[in-house]
Structure 1
Amino acid sequence: MFDFIRSHQRWMQLILLLLIVPSFVFFGVQGYSSFMASEPELVSVGDQPITLGQFNQARTAQLEQYRNALGSQFDPAAFDTPEFREQLLNRMIDERTVALAAAKGRYSVSDETLRRTIAAIPAVQENGQFSSQRYRDVLAAQGMTPTTFELGLRRDLAIAQVLQPIGLTARVPAEVSENILALLTEKRTVERRVFSATDFSKSIDVTEADIKKWYDSNQSKLLIPENVDVQFIVLNEQAASKNVKVTEENIESFYKQNQARYGQPERRRVSHILIELPASANDAVKAEARAKAEDLAKKAAAAPQSFASLAKDFSQDTGSANQGGDLGWITKNMLVPQVENAVFDLERGKISGVVESPFGYHIINVVDIQPASVKSLAEVKEDITNEIRKQLAAEQFAQLGSKLTSLVYDQRDSLSPIATALNLPIRSASGLTRDGLLPASQRSGPELPEDEQTILGNPKVRQAVFSSDVLKEKLNSGVIEVSPDVIVAIRVSAIHPAHVPALAAVSQQIKQRLTDELSLAAAQAAGQKELDLLKAKPDSEVKDFEPAVEVTRQQPSSLTREQLEAAMSASPQPLPSFVGVAGADQYTILKVSKIEPGAKPEATQLNQLQAQLSQAWGAAEEQAALKVLRNEFKVKLLPDANKLISGELDAAKL
């Protein structure tokens, strides 16, 4: 056979060509390349997909924002939820939809609008005025140039034009605001009588026959789904750091190598006069600007005390001129190199000659100097110790994680050797289903710590547990990354098929349930009977009511939300008015004896409420417009989107 192929290579090439070409004929090159592509598509917006890779980029950026905002309080696991993933995906869909609408509508932004928007950014202002120098410095610190920033801002402003006018033009009429404010401030005097279910429980008699009847009629409510008992090993920061020791040598070495982090670098208070030089300036313009700068430098050197007035009169840096050229305290890497070198070469109180930079010609005055200072080791020892411990723990975590991965794949039928090798405890839990942990009443063993409940509630963990190898073959799972600093290996120790517990096992539970239901029914019946009597004879003596309280929709006193809604909805005619409110474990009668209209609103209060209502109405209209745009661009969630939201689609597997 192989001899035939070797001796008839041309024929075989032709046959292969005939087999391959039809696939392109039927599917097309684009279809073939899509077939070969491995990245899942989550949503189609128009003819543009949102891919898993794009989602992961957005998620990483979002998590980094939370990490920066929350610092040490940041917990990645708190954001690894279906709700978070769905919210982020919807935001990406909305952004893509609005961007397509902006492109279709040919929205644009004028240079003047762009200029005014940039000038209004507080970060690029000095004393409330736009500073071109600060603008460039801020962008440079972010690794951006004015050109790239302005292109991105122009695009964002164009996109904002799609929905922004809808929200900004929404306006709730003043009459509506007045009516709502009147309802919010309306005051009602309320008395309350509570019929608690527990007060009737002693009179309830639940028989064995009642329990058996309920048991036979409610098998589906008692069904416990298939669940498993599991053993698992957890490697986290706590486990990785338990044997970490920080020595005095570690602390001293770290301090010496990082003294710059624990001190204040040298700072200089700087003023300058700038004569701007346009990028397109010819030699004559440059010579004229330099001559002007040199003249100013001579005047400043001759009379240093006049520097501020010269800056106010002649400096073309609008951000600092009004402050006498003051740039504030400057440290290294804040200014362009030409200016920075001149600043740090000058002595205190000295005036520089003319310094040329990409922005023009500068005359620099170093007003004051603060030398560099460093905190003592004693002041920062605790911080250094904690940081070293974290670094060592991270290294230990990486080493143990690598070792755990290797051991799990080498040892598939038991966790004991792995636990011994890594000095980690084997944890146990029962009652894990495909949808999460069973209620504590249906699980054996002690209550699980919160961190273990979080781990077992993770979709990736449950998916691994109910995979064929782990569930049926009773093999160890692979390493599961629950979060960046928590990894788990798990195995199934026992399987419990779906079943209805024996009557004896749930008899007490059923009895308590029936007692609670019958007690509540008795409380409601007694309360309803009393309510009917009060409505029939509203002037009769009212007994067992709590002292009267005054409530408004904004100040409910001790009333529950349901009770407050009932009290504020009670008919104002006639008074007193009586209403009943059924609760989860009680029945309440409310007596409304007095109604006072809300105070006349002040203009400021009314304007504030109107603005809030208009903003809410605008947001609602924007959401309605988004729905229309989604329909127009035929937004469609693909099957992998649901897998992503539920946690079944794991980006780490790509």
Structure 2
Amino acid sequence: MFFDAVRNNKRVVQIFLALITLPFAFWGVDSYVRNTGAGADLARVGDTKITILQFDQAWRAQQDRMRQVLGASFLPESMNTPAARLAVLNSLVDQRLLLLEASQGRLGAGDDLLRDVIAKIPALQENGRFSMARYQAALAAQGMSQAQFEAQMRQDLTLQQLVGAVGDTGIAGNKVVDKLLRIQTEERQIAEWRFTPGQFADQVKITLPAIEKYYAQNLKRFEVAEQAKVEYVLLSLEGLLAQVKPSDGEVTAWYESHQDRYQQAEERRASHILILASGEVDREKARAKAEDVLKEVQKSPAKFAELARQHSQDPGSAEKGGDLGFFGRGMMVKPFEDSVFGLRENELSGLVQSEFGYHIIKLTAIKPGKLRSLADARPEIEEELRRQAASRQFAEAAETFSNMIYEQPDSLQPAAEKFRLKIQQSGWLPRGLSPDKLAGLGQLGNQKVLAAVFSDDSLKNKRNTEAVEVAPNTLLAARVIEYRPASTQPLAIVKAEIEALLKAEEEAVLARAAGESKLRELQQGAEDKLAWAPVRRVSRQDGRQLPEASLKAIFRADVRQLPAYVGADAEGGGYMLYKIMTVSHPEKVDDNRRKALQAEYGTILGQEDFAAYLAGLRLRYKIDINKSALESKER
């Protein structure tokens, strides 16, 4: 959810990184209060409204997020349901409630905080420092103004204050944590016995009438879905990239107008001797020692490396004679950096104090800042110009491509020739594949593509399908070239399969019945003659030891009298019996585990507090949702 992105400054910073690829739905608190936007209202929150335009922006952003997470397996049509649309709208309502509360509470983010957060965004830094050029380029790539982005960031920081005030206050009491920890760390010593279906194989005979009855009652199970072979073409941004080559003049013009991107900052190489210091008393002793070493260095500057190996307490550089290699500004602590960049080559510093202690520095080399040559920068300039040109071409070509596919429906050849595309052929595509099997079809594994392929127009008239977006900046159009209707496999082919299925089911029923019968006998005090498997310990903390159903049965068992017996269905069929022999708790629990559990439970309480806070806001403000407009809107 949106408020997850404003929990702390790190997440706020990541909002800009997401902005590079995802559109934002809103521009600041003011845009809500002024009720901007056009079109019918999908909802009203207090005196404000949520319009179709605002919903569409959020809808596209959510689709982009899902596409990034799921990749090729993302199905746009899976979001086009009344339930999915209502979920997005409810998220907008929650955001609106928070913004109204922030506005009424006069919460806001000052200019100093805003500047500080933006300056720390890694994507906007160059050589460890904020770059205005990168900032402006990133905004331009997204089509945003500086004012728009800063309004969004100010809103996020404002919401952080509100969300943090509620969501970060969950406190888990010591007694509750101790009780949870006791439950979590409890161990039960068990032995097990399994009734397997195979033990009852001789007791099961499947008759022909039973097979025929199952076949008749489950004909759909033996249907072979209709299938089609298609030819298809792909128009993609990546495909157009190969067709674009910027001219020398374009490369040169770009280089000359963006030289700030190719400026390499000055770097310096230094060696140092570090005398560590911590605390006032230790610092005085360290300073005295550093002053003695400085005198030695000043007396014999040529022996700096030898003296560094002898006296320096920096384990990373002492054995290398104090050498730190080349570095630029922003890579060292400030007092150290200021001193290095104030020295002349081969000059010695005096004592330089930093948070680590006292440094004696020698500047050994200077690598002046320089502009990268055009020849050096050419490959990345060509790539950027190619991508820009291909993006423009794709935007222009997409509409023409779609129109040609529709207006010349009897062949893909005209579109293929115009855009220099290869006509490809598929294997047999089955209708009605489950989502988990679609990925095996590659770019044809798209529900919208398959729906178009198996439409009446495609099958009966052999016309082109519409151009379908199967991935970002990728359009696919297909045409059926061969078709097989759905059919049902005859009984003779599936008889053995049905017989094996019925046999396995009957064996599993007998195994379960035998297991449950034996469990009742043991629980009623019958003599235990089972040859149990070796004893082992299980706990809730390591749920991988046993199937979930077995673990639940073991820890729900009444253990006031031991041994205790429980049972559970076994994975793959059959029935498991468990004999609980002892119950124990660790004598001592690691304090780190206790703290981690307390923090985790505190987070859960904070989330519950925040959910309750949102529920309270929904009661405080009048909320009207136009469900009919939401569900009838085509997407």
- TM-score band (shorter)? 0.5 to 0.7
Distance 1:477 1:637 in 2: 34
Name which of 106, 109, 118 aligns with 2:107. Answer: 109
Cross-structure match for 1:559: 546
Cross-structure match for 1:177: 177
Alignment check: 8 A CA contact 1:77 1:483 kept = no
**SS of aligned partner of 1:169:** coil
Structure 2 residue identity aligned to 1:82: S
The question of 1:82 aligning with 2:78 is answered: yes
**SS of aligned partner of 1:490:** strand
The question of 1:521 aligning with 2:509 is answered: yes
The question of 1:623 aligning with 2:585 is answered: no
Distance 1:470 1:399 in 2: 27
Q: How far apart are 1:479 and its partner, in Å?
A: 1.1
The question of 1:437 aligning with 2:433 is answered: yes
Cross-structure match for 1:475: 463
Cross-structure match for 1:423: 422
Name which of 439, 456, 474 aligns with 1:450. Answer: 439
Cross-structure match for 1:208: 208
Distance 2:223 2:456 in 1: 21
The question of 1:636 aligning with 2:625 is answered: yes
The question of 1:568 aligning with 2:566 is answered: no
Alignment check: 8 A CA contact 1:480 1:487 kept = yes
Structure 2 residue identity aligned to 1:569: R
Post-superposition Cα deviations, 1:452-497, rounded to whole Å, max 9, x if no partner, equal 2664443x33554566644665532221112224322134565857
Name which of 529, 549, 557 aligns with 1:541. Answer: 529
Cross-structure match for 1:489: 477
Distance 2:235 2:133 in 1: 41
Mark the CA change 1:484 to 1:500 in structure 2 (over 3 Å): closer, same or farther: same
Cross-structure match for 1:23: none
Cross-structure match for 1:356: none
Post-superposition Cα deviations, 1:210-268, rounded to whole Å, max 9, x if no partner, equal 1222334456x649699663625141669938x95999x999x9799879999973324
Alignment check: 8 A CA contact 2:102 2:158 kept = yes
Cross-structure match for 1:578: 565
Distance 2:423 2:73 in 1: 21
Q: How far apart are 1:384 and its partner, in Å?
A: 9.4
Distance 1:640 1:605 in 2: 51
Q: How far apart are 1:604 and its partner, in Å?
A: 4.9
Q: How far apart are 1:612 and its partner, in Å?
A: 1.5
Distance 2:517 2:381 in 1: 71
Mark the CA change 1:147 to 1:77 in structure 2 (over 3 Å): closer, same or farther: same
Structure 1 residue identity aligned to 2:405: V
Aligned residues: 499
Alignment check: 8 A CA contact 1:348 1:369 kept = no
Cross-structure match for 2:280: none
Distance 1:63 1:439 in 2: 17
Q: How far apart are 1:581 and its partner, in Å?
A: 0.7
Distance 1:77 1:261 in 2: 41
Cross-structure match for 1:277: none
| Bigger radius of gyration | 1
471-480 or 391-400: which moved more?
391-400
Distance 2:374 2:112 in 1: 47
Alignment check: 8 A CA contact 2:185 2:586 kept = yes
**SS of aligned partner of 2:424:** coil
Cross-structure match for 1:196: 196
Alignment check: 8 A CA contact 1:189 1:551 kept = yes
Distance 2:130 2:95 in 1: 31
1:113-124 equivalences in 2 (<5 Å): 114=110, 121=117, 123=119
Alignment check: 8 A CA contact 2:233 2:423 kept = yes
Distance 2:444 2:183 in 1: 47
Distance 1:598 1:384 in 2: 63
Mark the CA change 1:519 to 1:56 in structure 2 (over 3 Å): closer, same or farther: same
Mark the CA change 1:264 to 1:115 in structure 2 (over 3 Å): closer, same or farther: closer
Name which of 264, 267, 270 aligns with 1:266. Answer: 264
Mark the CA change 1:391 to 1:146 in structure 2 (over 3 Å): closer, same or farther: closer
Q: How far apart are 1:613 and its partner, in Å?
A: 0.8
Distance 2:393 2:136 in 1: 37
Alignment check: 8 A CA contact 1:268 1:329 kept = no
Alignment check: 8 A CA contact 2:114 2:154 kept = no
Distance 2:383 2:133 in 1: 34
Cross-structure match for 2:283: none
1:188-267 equivalences in 2 (<5 Å): 188-201=188-201, 203-218=203-218, 222=221, 229=228, 231-235=230-234, 240=239, 265-267=263-265
Post-superposition Cα deviations, 1:95-141, rounded to whole Å, max 9, x if no partner, equal 123223444xx11137xx8489569859559xxxxxxx979999878
**SS of aligned partner of 1:547:** coil
94-103 or 148-157: which moved more?
148-157
Distance 1:397 1:152 in 2: 30
Mark the CA change 1:643 to 1:474 in structure 2 (over 3 Å): closer, same or farther: farther
Q: How far apart are 1:186 and its partner, in Å?
A: 0.8
Distance 2:247 2:131 in 1: 42
Cross-structure match for 1:409: 406
TM-score between both structures, scaled by the size of structure 1:
0.59
171-180 or 601-610: which moved more?
601-610
Distance 1:408 1:147 in 2: 42
Distance 1:52 1:537 in 2: 69
Mark the CA change 1:171 to 1:525 in structure 2 (over 3 Å): closer, same or farther: same
Post-superposition Cα deviations, 1:317-368, rounded to whole Å, max 9, x if no partner, equal xx9xx945967999xxxxxxxxxxxx9xx9999xxxxxxxxxxxxxxxx996
Q: How far apart are 1:207 and its partner, in Å?
A: 1.8
Structure 2, unaligned stretches of length 5 or more?
A: 1-36, 122-128, 269-329, 347-362
Mark the CA change 1:225 to 1:245 in structure 2 (over 3 Å): closer, same or farther: closer
Distance 2:218 2:537 in 1: 45
Distance 1:547 1:244 in 2: 65
Structure 2 residue identity aligned to 1:205: K
Q: How far apart are 1:93 and its partner, in Å?
A: 3.2
Q: Tell me the percent identity.
A: 24
Structure 1 residue identity aligned to 2:232: I
Q: How far apart are 1:579 and its partner, in Å?
A: 0.9
Alignment check: 8 A CA contact 2:543 2:551 kept = yes
Cross-structure match for 2:596: 608
Mark the CA change 1:64 to 1:258 in structure 2 (over 3 Å): closer, same or farther: farther
Distance 1:418 1:198 in 2: 60
RMSD: 5.7
Mark the CA change 1:387 to 1:75 in structure 2 (over 3 Å): closer, same or farther: farther
Q: How far apart are 1:601 and its partner, in Å?
A: 3.7
Post-superposition Cα deviations, 1:160-205, rounded to whole Å, max 9, x if no partner, equal 5655443233333322211111111111112222233355456532
Distance 2:394 2:148 in 1: 40
